[in-house]
Structure 1
Amino acid sequence: MSKRTFPRVERLRDSLLATESEICHERALIVTESYQENEGLPVVIKRAKALAKVLAEMTIFIHPDELIVGHQSSKRRSPPVFPEMCVEWIERELDEFETRKHNRLKVSEETKKALRSILPYWKGRTVYDRFLTMRPAPVARAVSFGLIANTHEKNALGHVALNYKKVLEMGFRGIKREIDDALSKLNIASPDYLPRYEFLHAASIVCDAIIGFAERYAKLARELAAREADPTRKQELLQIGEVCARVPANPARTFHEALQSLWFAHLIPWIEDNGYSITPGRIDQYLYPYYKADRERGAPKEELQELLECLWIKFSEVLRVDDKAVAEISSGYPLGQNVALGGLLPDGTDGTNELSFMCLEAQAHIRLLQPNLTVRLHAGTPDDFLKAAVQVISLGNGMPQLLNDEIIIPSLVRRGIPVEEARDYIPVGCDEITVEGTWGRCNGGYLNFAKVLELTLNNGRCLLTGEKLGLETGDRFGTFAELMAAYHRQLEHAVGIQAAAANITDQIHAELAPCPTVSLLVSGCIEKGRDVTGGGARYNFTGPVGVGSGTVGDSLAAIKKLVYEEGAVSLDDIIQAIRQNFIGHEPLRQMLINRAPKFGCDVDYVDDLVIEITDSFFDQVEKHTNPRGGAFIPALYSVTAQAGLGRLSAATPDGRRERTPLSDGISPSNGMDLAGPTAALKSVCKVDLVRATNGVIFNLRFSPSVLSEEDGLDKIAQFLRTFVDLGGFHIQFNIISTETLKEAQQNPEAHRGLVVRVAGYSAFFVELCKEVQDSIIARTEQSFA
């Protein structure tokens, strides 16, 4: 697979990397003005009019060399601000963005002045302000002291796979006709007439606004063409103008039109809301008819590959701005624009096609952070496609990640999804699993398993602060079974708090932040006349995430073995040592590290404890429902929450020191999976991953020496076949040496292009904070020796 791309794409990539990311204030001012103009209107119509005003007035531009056009804000890779969600950070943090630890951004004095000017209007009106007034005290304490985190009270929900195929086939004029038909069928005597009318009217406003936005680009392209001296570029601009005049208003006819229509449909939800993980999905499937038709008309494959790579660049132009607390959980800009390739089709056959290989080629050429590329595997995945995916992984940016259809499809069927729809699943964000027509809190916030253990050992109180966060379950346990019973009670209580936070946020979003653009492209909303935030989707899940299972499994194994079986140390001694962060207790710490078995080594003794922890979490999560009429479904991943939650956690009985990262995802604790990659995989696959429908992350790091072996790529491919056979859910690799990572940490300027896999997403290593860098360095460097 060639690493060389097209000269145009190289220029676009180089110029993007040279662009300094800067906060844009334009959207914030326009939205504020629109809200002030439309104070008395229903909120969904107010939201639609605000978006329409933004799309009509925001600065637009076409970058040199672009063939696919459309930008999120007034500058390239420049995140807009969403004051309707939260302005508290503007007052508190605006002067710190250029120097803070995570996700630094430039902020001009003009932008600071503009954002501060709108503060008086928004104070008391935002989603976050409403959350602060509604959340009960247990939720506030749980967030403050690290029991739960990031319940999306400061931003939109996102985490959705939209029906872009509908846009390609119908265009927004066709979708507007569908809305008009739904409006004509409303019964004015129905008790829900008014909210349904308001939603459908808002959806109609948005359709017109999107069409007008594309027409602005068509006009701009023609104007630029009129001034262009270079005949080749002049023709390209005229073609762009023609395409934008056609789509996304109308159905796409060509591959170029399909790519441009997809991009507008994908971009505008990022302008409407600041949710994470709006996902392109299975583009090799829904774009393939347009590619095939162009090829049959004689279009050169290279020309179509170049167009595809121009789209690939666009995904990395999208950016978000978050406050420090959210940025700590999401270090490295994990935007989660997940593109999934291959996998089963609804009829059960393999979906790999020529476009699947071309997308891998695009990733090999461009190697940026977005899209978040996924390859779906199953027992019948073609060998050549699997080997092509492994070749791309070997290039070193941690993509694609791999998902297992053989586990995920039954997991969705278990949740009531018809098997044909389940086979067409789409990973959003990191790898939260969804099907088209689903809306919900795929990321329902993070729950800290290590803090639950801390509360268990300290009668419901935080060991760092003494704050009461949990139940009074005692701190004297005559047997290990009594300790585990207390842990399960604390976990049940913690999940209840997490569910309360998620449901409060759901209610606030329905009240203050409906999403008419997203709703247009989620099946069920137009038919029901209801926004996604109000339960309009066909499926409405909430997905709480458990963090630190490896840390807690190792800790419980140490207690069980050394306290209750061997009597080598008392539980009081361990609790005293962790209270003091093992200072003065290093011999005990070494005993905990070296004499107890560790998760990730295929040892049932400790693996069974991780199974017990995760089964208990699954049981508690599945008891809850949400205001949209949907169920709670669990997940085991962490993004970078293992660092943020670790910073709020005391030392743990596995020997981990206080305020250091927890284990990430379902992965073993860093440096503890010393029995080789297959043993680590076997430990992970013992967990009932079918129940973790909302997603699982399993990280491995391989030594580059595996690639120096003659059959190195074949060994990785065979390992992935084993992953499928054993029932893994998700797996991803970094293939990079410890020495390289340490050198990059010491000399970042020489390694600015070094990309690593973090936790379900990739990031530039030197842009990560030191804690996350250290946690990646600490991962075991595996080999097949």
Structure 2
Amino acid sequence: MPVVTRTFPRVERLRDSLLATESEICHERALLVTESYQENEGLPILIKRAKALAKVLAEMTIFIHPDELIVGHQSSKRRSPPVFPELCVEWIETELDEFETRKHNRLKVSEETKRALRSILPYWKGKTVYDRFLALRPESVAKAVSFGLIANTHEKNALGHVALNYKKVLAKGFRGIKEEIEDALSQLDIASPDYLPKYEFLQAASIVCDAIMDFAGRYAKLAREMAEEESDPVRRQELLTISEICAHVPANPPRTFHEALQAFWFAHLIPWIEANGYSITPGRLDQYLYPYYRSDRERGVSKEELQELLECLWVKFSEVLRVDDKAVAEISSGYPLGQNVALGGVLPDGTDGTNELSFMCLEAQAHIRLLQPNLTVRLHAGTPDDFLKAAVRVISLGNGMPQLLNDELIIPSLVQRGIPIEEARDYIPVGCDEITVDGTWGRCNGGYLNFAKVLELTLNNGRCLLTGEKLGLETGDPAGFQTFSELMDAYHRQLEHAVGIQAAAANITDLIHAELAPCPTVSILVTGCIENGRDATHGGARYNFTGPVGVGSATVGDSLAAIKKLVYESKAISLEDIIQAIRQDFVGHEPLRQMLINRAPKFGCDEDYVDDLVIEITKDFFDQVEKHTNPRGGPFIPALYSVTAQAGLGRLSAATPDGRRERTPLSDGISPSNGRDLAGPTAALKSVCKVDLIRATNGVIFNLRFSPSVLSDGDGLNKIAQFLRTFVDLGGFHIQFNIISTETLKEAQRNPEAHRGLVVRVAGYSAFFVELCKEVQDSIIARTEQSFR
């Protein structure tokens, strides 16, 4: 069972100094990449990308922070995100002076950095991924993005959302991986029509292997030099050990737990330097690091020493950061990096995988309680009681982690997608909880689709109610819909059209990334790419998915229930009355709004009347998504989560017939609308589990907020543990909790300086509450404060 105090002074110092660090944009990578591209103008893009990374790793500023035992940083300063001009520079021109005062994800920007970034603008204008997207996107996609029908198709940032094959790094080292690449090169047939693209990819892969090993060598040299100057004999020996470790890994397979942690960290860190994709995911860390832990324990190394090393790594996860423009930051408020560590769950042979390292990872989370990693516990029918209760104990500490996933649903979901059972059992949640297996280039976030905007178009004959802009099909004046079925037919047609636009945007983005931003470092750690001789963006992975995401299902389900009951059944009001009221944001129509809120059933209360409508609209979404394929030869696989897209898309959406006001947040993930799940947590869970979640393989988010009183009677932890057993039995996909009172959250809004350490669960990630914009804060406060009755 984890303890709840930070017991390692070193780790406390590392954590506290990180929290005291002001996050500041670093311009160093941007300048180095620009220089490299200018030096290598005539080379193929894969070679150009590899050489750019090699230049960055060879010339970027490196440092070792006091107390560190695991080394390696993303940029020239701690918690200082680098810039990726090859993806988008528009924000440099339009937003650079606003970063310190904007609503979401504020960052310091020095005058030196401003000058440096502005100096490279002329070179990159017209050459970036975003520039190409603007040039190629159809008008329908442009309008859909501008007016809130879809969002965030990764046209401004890298794709990410991938679980890399860290086991391969530990087993072979990058020297062994390079030998594999050289062997593949030697077997190429120069007469083959695909010789040249394979040659270019494998050459790029070889370049990055050398660059990674040289990067570690720089740290070995730096640590040795620092040791020569160090007066404290204990720290001098630590630096010499770091030097020895970095001289050995990640080039070679690790021999100790410390070496395995360091090898992992280099392999994990460098893809964040190569490209700025979200959610480069550690995955089942308790499984692939466990042999090194066990070996050290058998050699007599104390558990405490290994725990301290693990917690040094835990702090490193929160040093990684990204730069996003305002639009992307609005969708991703609170820096959701998505470095998902998954614990427990079944092994490929179906037995339980919980081990001593699983408990140690929970203990690390209990001690450190930062925003990263995004900790997940995989549950199944055979999850040991002590491990489940340990997870609940960590949740009770209040930072919303770990989140819980259900093997009993997710494994069959993957098998239905054609994944062999042994691989499905070894699944990895990336980012929030997007589901992948080894060898997947998933495009797990294929962009967000706004269900509420689809309903809005249905109620206004294809036009946005806020602007009058034509975004959808002309499905008829709703005044002419004589039956609820006619309304649903129109909704279906609008949804089909919208998903087509979403698929077009995702596929255009895919093609542009393959053309301008391939990722050779990521690719050598995605199973299939070396074997196929193709970058992941070119379809080299074993599995190639795209995962469109639906947002606002409960908002629309509640809205349709109100229309069905009050217009078509009881005939208490007309559809024209509702449409007129939402056009005016219910101003002058408050009695009607209260009728919509109070006289129609709401999703999350275990009422089939409305639950069946949510089932219907999500099924329709699944059906439409699954019609599409991507340029890498893979299927589209749907998801129901939102990060903070429910706020960003809500701001572009009219009022809805559930009584929601215009420009306010939609429901998040598959969760009930805020404040509408008033029948208790079990009823909310039952409503959610009625949805055919096995088809949402790409991920589902279900949020609950509990009152701290659930822990006050001495049996609270057992009640939550039993509730989670019910979650598994009912066929849930995902669940996560905030255990915090409404009053505490409101007090943090009033007095943020006194609550800087308050962490909350937002969507599939945690964030510091006071760093979230007020809209997202209000959305969290509005969640029903549940208790067990």
TM-score range, shorter chain: over 0.9
CA shift, 1:2, in A, is 1.7
Matches of 2:581 and 2:443, distance apart in 1: 39
Other-structure match for 1:729: 733
Matches within 5 A, 1:458-497: 458-475=460-477, 476-497=480-501
Specify the alignment match of 1:235 in structure 2: 237
Structure 1 segment 68-107 matched on structure 2, within 5 A: 68-107=70-109
Alignment of 1:747-758 (within 5 A): 747-758=751-762
Residue 415 of structure 1, CA deviation: 0.5
**Match of residue 720 from structure 1:** 724
Paired residue for 2:253? 251
After superposition, residues 46-195 of structure 1 pair within 5 angstroms as 46-195=48-197
Q: What is the alpha-carbon distance in structure 2 between the residues aligned to residue 618 and residue 188 of structure 1?
A: 44
Cα distance in 2 between the residues matched to 1:253 and 1:222: 20
CA contact (8 A) 1:157 1:440 kept: no
Distance 2:197 2:727 in 1: 48
CA distance in 2, matches of 1:32, 1:709: 61
Could you say what secondary structure the match of 2:435 adopts? strand
Aligned counterpart for 1:508 among listed residues 501, 504, 512: 512
Distance (whole Å) between structure 1 residues aligned to residue 482 and residue 106 of structure 2:
50
Alignment-derived partner of residue 637 in structure 1: 641
Match of 2:632, SS? coil
TM-score by length of 1: 1.00
Where 1:443 maps in the other structure, the secondary structure is coil
Structure 2: which 5+ residue stretches go unaligned? none
The one-letter amino acid paired with 1:630 is G
| Structure 2: distance between partners of 1:591 and 1:706 | 33
Aligned partner of 2:659 in structure 1 is: 655
| Aligned-residue offset at 1:436 | 1.0
Unpaired runs of at least 5, structure 1: none
Q: Equivalents in 2 of 1:408, 1:277: separation in Å? A: 20
Equivalent residue, structure 2, for 1:349: 351
Question: 314, 317, 323: which one pairs with 2:316?
Answer: 314
Alpha-carbon distance in 2 for matches of 1:510, 1:710: 56
- Map residues 260-279 of structure 1 onto 2, 5 A cutoff: 260-279=262-281
| Structure 1 counterpart of 2:232, one-letter code | D
Show CA shifts across 1:580-602 (max 9, x none): 00000000000000000000000
Instruction: Give the AA of the match of 1:21.
Output: S
Partner of 2:668: 664
Partner secondary structure for residue 638 of structure 1: coil
Q: Which residue of 2 aligns with 1:323?
A: 325
In structure 1, C-alpha distance between the alignment counterparts of 2:496 and 2:409, rounded to whole Å: 26
What amino acid maps onto 1:192 in structure 2? D
Task: Identify the residue that residue 529 of structure 2 maps to in structure 1.
Answer: 525
The equivalent position to 1:373 in structure 2, one of 372, 375, 392, is 375
Given residue 3 of structure 2, which amino acid in structure 1 is its aligned partner? S
Q: Could you tell me how far 1:709 is from its partner in structure 2? A: 1.3
Give how far 1:4 is off: 2.2
The amino acid that maps onto 1:540 is: N
Partner of 1:693: 697
Q: Distance in 1 between matches of 2:186 and 2:561?
A: 64
Name the CA distance, whole Å, in 1 between partners of 2:530 and 2:710: 52
Give the deviation of 1:710 after TM superposition.
Answer: 1.4
Which position in structure 2 is the counterpart of 1:676?
A: 680
| Letter of the 2:564 counterpart | K
Cα displacement (A) at 1:554: 0.2
Amino acid corresponding to residue 147 of structure 2 in structure 1: F
> C-alpha distance in 1, partners of 2:686/2:446?
28
Give the aligned partner of residue 2 of structure 1.
Answer: 3
Matched, 1:201 2:203: yes
Q: Which amino acid aligns with 1:166?
A: K
1:571 aligned onto 2:585: no
Aligned counterpart for 2:418 among listed residues 416, 419, 423: 416
Separation in 1, partners of 2:98, 2:554 = 34
**2:456 is paired with a residue of what secondary structure?**
helix
Shift of 1:409: 0.3
Deviation at 1:107, TM superposition (A): 0.1
One-letter amino acid of the counterpart of residue 737, structure 1: S
Runs of 4+ in structure 1 over 6 Å off: none
2:556 aligns with 552
Question: Per-residue CA shift, 1:336-361, capped at 9, x if unaligned?
Answer: 00000000000000000000000000
Give, in whole Å, the separation in 2 of the partners of 1:592 and 1:709: 38
- Which amino acid is 2:328 matched to? V
> 1:308-457 counterparts in 2 under 5 A?
308-457=310-459
- The one-letter code of the counterpart of 1:248 is P
On the 8 A contact 2:436/2:442 being kept in 1, the answer is no
Other-structure match for 2:22: 20
Q: Percent identity?
A: 90
CA contact (8 A) 2:680 2:786 kept: yes
Partners of 1:404 and 1:623 lie apart in 2 by 27
Contact 2:396 2:739 in 1 (8 A): yes
The letter of the residue matching 1:418 is P
Shift of the alpha carbon at 1:740? 0.0
Structure 1: distance between partners of 2:583 and 2:518 = 46
Residue 441 of structure 1: SS of its match in structure 2? coil
Give me the whole-angstrom Cα distance separating, in 2, the residues matched to 1:399 and 1:90: 35
Structure 1 residue 400, shift from structure 2 partner = 0.0
AA matched with 1:495:
V
Contact 2:441–2:526 (CA under 8 A) maintained in structure 1: yes
CA distance in 2, matches of 1:627, 1:264: 31
Task: Provide the C-alpha distance between the structure 2 equivalents of 1:709 and 1:645, rounded to a whole number of angstroms.
Answer: 41
What is the Cα deviation at residue 3 of structure 1? Answer: 1.9
SS at match of 1:734: strand
Match of 2:218 among 205, 216, 222: 216
Aligned partners of 1:146 and 1:448 also within 8 Å: yes
SS of residue in 1 equivalent to 2:545: strand
Q: Is the contact between residue 331 and residue 643 of structure 2 (CA under 8 Å) also seen in structure 1?
A: yes
SS in 2 for 1:742: helix
CA distance in 1, matches of 2:277, 2:653: 27
Q: What SS class does the counterpart of residue 542 from structure 1 fall into? A: coil
Between the aligned partners of 1:534 and 1:520, the Cα distance in structure 2 is 13
Q: Name the SS of the counterpart of 1:402 in structure 2.
A: strand
Q: Secondary structure, in 3 states, of the residue corresponding to 2:442? A: strand
Output the CA distance in 1 between the equivalents of 2:437 and 2:164: 9
Q: Deviations over 1:741-779 (max 9, x none)?
A: 000001000000000000000000000000000000000
CA distance, structure 1, for counterparts of residue 575 and residue 688 of structure 2: 28
| Aligned AA (1:567) | K
TM-score when normalising by structure 2: 0.99
* Alignment-mate amino acid for residue 348 of structure 1: G
User: Structure 2: which amino acid aligns with 1:470?
Assistant: G
1:765 aligns with 2:769: yes
Deviation of the 1:440 alpha carbon: 2.4
Q: State whether residues 33 and 55 of structure 2, in contact with CA within 8 Å, keep that contact through their aligned partners in structure 1.
A: yes
Residue 665 of structure 1 aligns with an amino acid whose one-letter code is: G
Q: Deviations over 1:44-72 (max 9, x none)?
A: 00000000000000000000000000000
Q: Distance in 2 between matches of 1:384 and 1:68?
A: 30
- Take 1:130 and 1:35, find their aligned partners in 2: how far apart are those partners? 17
Counterparts of 1:218 and 1:7, CA distance in 2: 25
Aligned length: 785
Aligned to 1:296: 298
| Partner Cα separation in structure 2 for residue 165 and residue 529 of structure 1 | 20
**Partners of 2:655 and 2:661 within 8 A in 1:** yes
